[in-house]
Amino acid sequence: MDILLSPFQQLPNEILGLIFESACTDNLLQQYPWPTVRKWCGEPPTKLSLPVIAYLPALAISAVCTRWRFLALASPRIWSQIRVEIAPRGEVMSTTQSGFRSTLQLYLDRSADSPLLIGLQTPGALDADKSDLSALPLLLDHTSRWQTFSYTGDFDLGSCEGFCHHPSFPILEALNLRGCEALIQRADFDCFEHAPKLCAFSTDYLKSHSPWTQLTTLDVRALDMDVLQQCRSLTVLKIQRIWPTSELSNMTLVNLETFTLFGFGDECDLEDMFSRITLPSLGELIIYPEDSPYTNDLIWPLNAFIAFILRSSCTLTTLSLSGVRILDLDFIATLHLLPSLTKLSFDDDFGRVTNPITSLFLSSLTLHDTAFERGSIVPNLCSLSIQVEGTSFDDTAFIEMVLSRWLPDPSYAATIGVASMMSMVLRFRKREVDEDVYRPLYELDKVGMRWGREVHEEAKLRPLCNLERMGMRVVITGQEYHGH
């Protein structure tokens, strides 16, 4: 009776259906039992610590009660998001392994005509002569419904009977191909040449010359510049390196709006990149190092960046630098080039690079009484995020800068031509926050400023401020928050 009278049971079917869809975004089907020959198979990608059905939410929901089963069977979308993990080398087919295939087939059947979101992972190269490959043809029978496909592993997709004929993927929009111990092969790319709606692609090294003119999003570690030339419709690009070719020394991507560079090794790499590309529509630039102990420091090439901005004539609104070695004077000079900037973030990458957030830098961001007469740096800045070790930091200059940029009167802000800052995040990794020093910022709460000091327990936050008030968001964390 308690279950029948519970508020949850009184929810209409439409609401329950939406809840079920939110709960069934990841249905994991892992080959079972996982082969025991670790020399060839290793550990499964996902270590299961709960009963298998806990990783199959759609199946679990359908087993709760008659009503839920009815709703689950009438909701093909909850069966359409599937993640499959297959061992690289199998053993003799067992009844249990047959059950793995049957469960996958059950999901495919119950997903009806819904678009499929498929993830496939193998820790190594699949052995095509073994029975564990039998799960792949089940998926290939439904290529007309693939909307997204993500593969991680070293199996040669092009050698599979279903892939080698280059099937049609009429609704495929997003493709992710990543190798484990080897790069994805060109033949693997070519398997997806008949995907007219493909717009987002993520891989290791793009070297296929298939037509990629429809791509709008590309995430790749490296590619040849002549291949990039084919991607003229890109609006989002994330890349580690572009290899120049003798035929093409520079590139213009007129539609690119977001550009992310990661893992560069030295100043020459960044300088070479900025020298070779022109991005007239660029609005967001993100640079950070690869998470590797062998990655060299990233050195900011000021002159190359100046030339890039002047050549591109873009309206940059977001700049994020992490692990980039830049002097305070160079940082100031860079910001002078970006009057349209609204979001700025800097991270010293756990002290890996010298902190440019000096007293001089903070002073350059501070609005003075005569700011409107001589012009202010980054006048449209609304969001600032700083993450540093913090052992040497000018608290007074920082507080003065924050106070000067809090402009609650829109008419005054319009008069001086400066936008009010709405979000400020400051994180120290190796020092505590002296709340007495930062007390002036607490006072701003009385006039409508949002103040928050992130700590481990939300309850500790409430006595400090009223987060419901409208105004600027200021977050300051110290050594305690980072667990040092």
What does the pLDDT look like over 106-137, one tens digit per residue? Answer: 999 999 999 999 999 887 655 544 434 667 88
Cα distance between residue 61 and residue 18, in whole Å: 13
**pLDDT higher for 320 or 464?**
320
Residue 50 is assigned to a structural domain of this protein: yes
pLDDT of amino acid 456: 32
Structure tokens at 16: 């329950």
Structure tokens at 308: 């890039």
pLDDT of amino acid 230: 81
The residues near 344 (Cβ < 8 Å, ≥ 6 apart) are: 318, 319, 320, 335, 378, 381, 383, 384, 385
Domain end point (choices 198, 227, 253): 198
Eight-state DSSP code of residue 137:
H
pLDDT of amino acid 159: 75
For a pLDDT cut of 70, what percent of the chain falls above it? 78
Q: Is the pLDDT of residue 370 over 90?
A: no
Largest CA distance in the chain: 81
pLDDT of amino acid 458: 37
pLDDT of amino acid 407: 84
Residue 170 is assigned to a structural domain of this protein: yes
Residue 260 is assigned to a structural domain of this protein: no
The whole-number average pLDDT for the span 246-251 is: 65
Total tally of structural domains belonging to the chain: 2
Range among 60-74, 179-193, 263-277 rated most confident: 60-74
Confidence of residue 42 (pLDDT cuts 50, 70, 90): low
pLDDT of amino acid 36: 66
Residue 256 is assigned to a structural domain of this protein: no
> Per mean pLDDT, which range of 5-9, 19-23, 254-258, 342-346 is the poorest?
5-9
Residue carrying the six token digits 């909307």: 147
Angle between helices 66-73 and 13-23 (to 10 degrees): 70
- Is 299 within 8 Å of 266 (Cβ atoms)? yes
Q: Is the pLDDT of residue 321 over 70?
A: yes
Rg (CA), the chain: 27
Confidence of residue 449 (pLDDT cuts 50, 70, 90): very low
pLDDT of amino acid 282: 98
Q: Is the pLDDT of residue 144 over 90?
A: yes
Residue 262 is assigned to a structural domain of this protein: no
Cα distance between residue 249 and residue 231, in whole Å: 16
pLDDT of amino acid 381: 95
Cα distance between residue 372 and residue 376, in whole Å: 7
**pLDDT higher for 46 or 93?**
46
pLDDT of amino acid 1: 45
pLDDT of amino acid 287: 93
Confidence of residue 243 (pLDDT cuts 50, 70, 90): low
pLDDT of amino acid 389: 82
pLDDT of amino acid 128: 47
Residue 321 is assigned to a structural domain of this protein: no
pLDDT of amino acid 276: 86
Residue 211 is assigned to a structural domain of this protein: no
Residue 62 is assigned to a structural domain of this protein: yes
Domain end point (choices 198, 223, 243): 198
Domain of 18, in residue numbers: 1-198
